[in-house]
Each structure stands twice: as structure tokens, then as C-alpha cells.
């Protein structure tokens, strides 16, 4: 969100044509716009693998500069991957939303060279709130972390004029 508020669309925004109300196309445009303005996710090397209404999958490779003092991936960076998948998922309906709360359980360490994948799924959405579960796995499918996030809708849309 820009300092001027959620209705201001700084940075590149996807060119939007008529979507005919297609929820999948709206989710794709919202993800493209959101991630085009997300310098933190880009800096961490995150890549969008899939988006659908209420769902998103992102991937990140653990680099040596992401390791903590125990030579495993810093938990904050694993959380960042989960949080970015959560953000794409809860904004996939093109209603601007932010995290209101999140918790994470770390189940196993990740190491340099591991490829982590976070899949976020909407489990409930009503009014201005939503609940999401995010699972982070490594390249072998081993669970690294489980996260739950609660979103809060704010004013505005991710992409203007999707009608």
C-alpha cells in the first residue's frame, strides 16, 4: 500500500480490459498487479506458480544469504514466502486486503539450495474478513511450515476497472 492509501496504484499496473466477470482472469490480473509492486518478494526471488480465486502458490529458492546462525533458512524468510502466498490469495478476488493476523509453526529446517513452495488456500471469506491456510514444503514435498492468516478488506481494488 502506498503512503497515500490503498486507492493509489503506484508502479506498473496490468493493462486491464474487460474480464466479463471471469473469476480466474480477475485473479490472474490481481496477482500480476500486486506482485509487480512487491519489491520485497522480488528481492527474495519469489515466483508465482499458480493463482486462482482464493488460492495461490509461490516458490523461492533458499540462498546462502538467507541462512541464520545455525546455517538453516531464517524463519522470517520462510514466513515471508508464506505471507506473500497469503497476500496473493486474499487479494485474488480484486478486493484490496491486508493481513490482520498470522501465525506460523515451523516443522522442519530448510537449507541453502532448497526450493520452498508455499500454497495458500482460502478456507473462509465473509464481509471484510477471510481465513487462509498456508503450507510451505521443500522440493521433496516435506512440510517445512504451516501458517494461518486472517485478512481484512480495505478500501479499493488491486487492479482498477476489471469490469
Answer for the pair 138, 127: CB distance below 8 angstroms, yes or no. Answer: no
pLDDT (tens digit, 9 = 90+) per residue, 47-76? 999 999 999 999 999 999 999 999 999 999
The 10s digit of each residue's pLDDT in 134-153 is: 999 999 999 999 999 999 99
User: Comparing C-alpha atoms, which of 90, 88, 83, 82 is closest to residue 116?
Assistant: 82
Contact 162, 29 (CB under 8 A): yes
Residue 148 cell numbers, joined? 494461518
Whole-model pTM? Answer: 0.88
Residue 69 CB neighbour total at 10 angstroms: 6
Asked whether 100 and 87 are in contact (CB, 8 A), the reply is no
Amino acid at each position: 500500500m502506498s503512503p497515500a492509501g490503498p486507492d493509489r496504484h503506484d508502479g506498473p499496473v496490468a493493462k486491464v480490459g474487460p474480464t466479463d466477470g471471469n473469476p480466474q482472469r480477475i485473479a490472474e490480473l490481481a496477482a500480476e498487479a500486486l506482485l509487480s509492486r512487491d519489491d520485497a518478494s522480488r528481492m527474495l526471488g519469489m515466483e508465482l506458480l499458480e493463482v486462482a480465486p482464493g488460492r495461490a502458490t509461490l516458490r523461492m529458492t533458499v540462498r546462502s544469504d538467507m541462512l541464520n546462525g545455525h546455517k538453516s533458512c531464517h524463519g522470517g524468510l520462510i514466513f515471508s514466502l508464506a505471507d506473500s502466498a497469503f497476500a496473493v490469495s486474499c487479494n485474488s478476488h480484486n478486493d484490496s486486503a491486508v493481513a490482520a493476523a498470522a501465525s506460523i509453526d515451523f516443522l522442519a529446517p530448510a537449507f541453502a539450495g532448497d526450493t520452498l513452495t508455499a500454497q495458500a488456500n482460502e478456507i473462509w471469506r465473509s464481509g471484510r474478513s477471510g481465513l487462509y491456510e498456508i503450507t510451505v514444503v521443500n522440493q521433496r514435498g516435506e512440510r517445512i511450515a504451516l501458517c494461518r492468516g486472517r485478512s481484512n478488506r480495505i478500501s479499493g481494488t488491486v487492479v482498477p476497472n476489471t469490469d
